[in-house]
Structure formats: structure tokens, C-alpha cells
């Protein structure tokens, strides 16, 4: 049995639960919902139809807790990538259109290239949950 707060957290955040299921069941799963986390036994979870996949091993409490931590990290990484893509779009709309780009001084072109590379590097430089939760975004030096 897993703590009620974990089950509640997964019920309240559908995106987090999807990441959780992907981490916990990498081969996929037919059906489960967060209630299986507080079922007393595998038999009870299967009888209650909160975990209904005979081809998948029932996870341990530790596996659930580890999966939740990894799911949170994956969700934050997905959010970081979404924000990064928005920043790429912003800079591309402002500065890298061919008619604008050609008129920029070399120093500004170099600054834009450095900025975009720093954006590309964000997933590699932000590897912990705390770094992903509060990312340090690059600043375009002008």
C-alpha cells in the first residue's frame, strides 16, 4: 500500500499520472487508475478493477514511489522543452527572418547563435528535479 497523498497527487494531475504509468509500465498497460496504489493486495486491486492487466506484474510500493519521482522529472522536462520551443519561436520571429538576419551586425548574429545553443543545451544542463523545477534560462546578450 502506498501513501494516500501519492494517490491523490496522481488523481489530481492527469499528465503526471500518464508519465507515472509510462515509467512504471514501460511496455504499456491495459487499464489502471491511481486507486491501485492504496489497494491492500494485488488480488484486491484486480478484484476492484483498479488494476486490470494480467500480463503486467503488480508493482511494489518502492517501485511506485520511484516511478512517481521519475514521472515528476519527466513532466518537468516536458514543460522545459515546451517553454524552450516557445523561446526558439520568439527569437526566430524577431531576429532570424532572412530580411532581418541579413541586416544584423556580426556581433548580434553571434549572440543569437550562442543564445540558441544555450537553449538547445537546456535538457542536458538541467538534470535534477530541482533544476528542472526552477530552470536558469539563458539571456540574449544584445
Q: What are phi and psi of 94, to 5 degrees?
A: -85, -40
- DSSP for 22-89, please give it: HHH-TT--S-B-GGGGG-SSHHHHHHTTSB--TTSPPPPHHHHHHHHHHHHHHHHHHHHHHHHHHHHH
pLDDT over 90 percentage in the chain: 48
Bridge-partner residues for 51, per DSSP? Answer: 32
Residue 39 has pLDDT above 90, yes or no: no
Query: Binning pLDDT at 50, 70 and 90, where does residue 31 land?
Result: low
The whole-number pLDDT of residue 114 equals: 95
The whole-number pLDDT of residue 118 equals: 97
Grid cell listed for 113: 547563435
Residue 30 has pLDDT above 80, yes or no: no
Residue of higher predicted confidence among 45 and 66: 66
Instruction: Assign 4 to helix, strand or coil.
Output: helix
Residue 40 has pLDDT above 60, yes or no: no
Amino acid at each position: 500500500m502506498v501513501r494516500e497523498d501519492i494517490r491523490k497527487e496522481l488523481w489530481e494531475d492527469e499528465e503526471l499520472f500518464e508519465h507515472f504509468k509510462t515509467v512504471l509500465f514501460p511496455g504499456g498497460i491495459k487499464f489502471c487508475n491511481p486507486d491501485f496504489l492504496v489497494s491492500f493486495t494485488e488480488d484486491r486491486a484486480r478484484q476492484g478493477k483498479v488494476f486490470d492487466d494480467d500480463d503486467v506484474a503488480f508493482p511494489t510500493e518502492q517501485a511506485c514511489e520511484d516511478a512517481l519521482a521519475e514521472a515528476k522529472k519527466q513532466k518537468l522536462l516536458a514543460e522545459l522543452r515546451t517553454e524552450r520551443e516557445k523561446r526558439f519561436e520568439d527569437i526566430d520571429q524577431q531576429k532570424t527572418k532572412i530580411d532581418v538576419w541579413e541586416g544584423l551586425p556580426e556581433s548580434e548574429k553571434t549572440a543569437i547563435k550562442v543564445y540558441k545553443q544555450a537553449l538547445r543545451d537546456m535538457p542536458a544542463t538541467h538534470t535534477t528535479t530541482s533544476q528542472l523545477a526552477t530552470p536558469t534560462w539563458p539571456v540574449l546578450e544584445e
